[in-house]
Structure 1
Amino acid sequence: MDYNTKSAIIGGTFFSSIVNIGVEDVITTIVLAIVGAIVSFFVSLLLKKSITFLGAKCRRWK
């Protein structure tokens, strides 16, 4: 395929998808991304604390 055909296929797919996506879906996606990032951050903090706690506890038993 040449460059014009590839760009026409990609552009047509992109613009036909944009028309079908509603504002509510975009807002829902943004909110879920924010919630996912916050949950991921707190889970990583919790895992870091638990690993340091368990590491200190294991060192005491030696």
Structure 2
Amino acid sequence: MQSSNPALIGTAGGTFLSVLPNLHSEDVSKTVLLAAIGAIVSFGLSMVLKFIVKKYRK
């Protein structure tokens, strides 16, 4: 099944342009900060769990 690229691009562009005026710089910076904290916590927890599993499998 082939999708209609102009319709898809138009829909994505319209969504982006309708959201753009509602974005504020503090919202974007808060989102970036929370995403970075989430990634660091997720990575750290996965490393701790990997260490625990490796320790108990021996």
Alignment partner, residue 43 of structure 2:
41
Letter of the structure 2 residue corresponding to residue 24 of structure 1: E
Alignment partner, residue 57 of structure 2:
55
Gapped regions of structure 2 (runs ≥ 5): none
Paired with 2:43 and 2:11, the residues of 1 have a C-alpha distance of: 39
Instruction: Give deviations 1:8-30, integer Å, cap 9, x for gaps.
Output: 44322211201101111100110
Identical pairs, percent: 40
Confirm whether residue 20 of structure 1 aligns to residue 16 of structure 2: no
Instruction: Give deviations 1:1-53, integer Å, cap 9, x for gaps.
Output: 8x3xx244432221120110111110011001100110011101101110011
RMSD in angstroms over aligned alpha carbons?
A: 1.9
Segments of 4+ in structure 1 off by > 4 A?
Answer: none
- Higher share in helix: 1
Letter of the structure 1 residue corresponding to residue 48 of structure 2: L
| 9-18 or 47-56, which deviates more | 9-18
Gapped regions of structure 1 (runs ≥ 5): 57-62
CA 1:51 to 1:9, structure 2 compared with 1: closer, same or farther past 3 Å?
closer
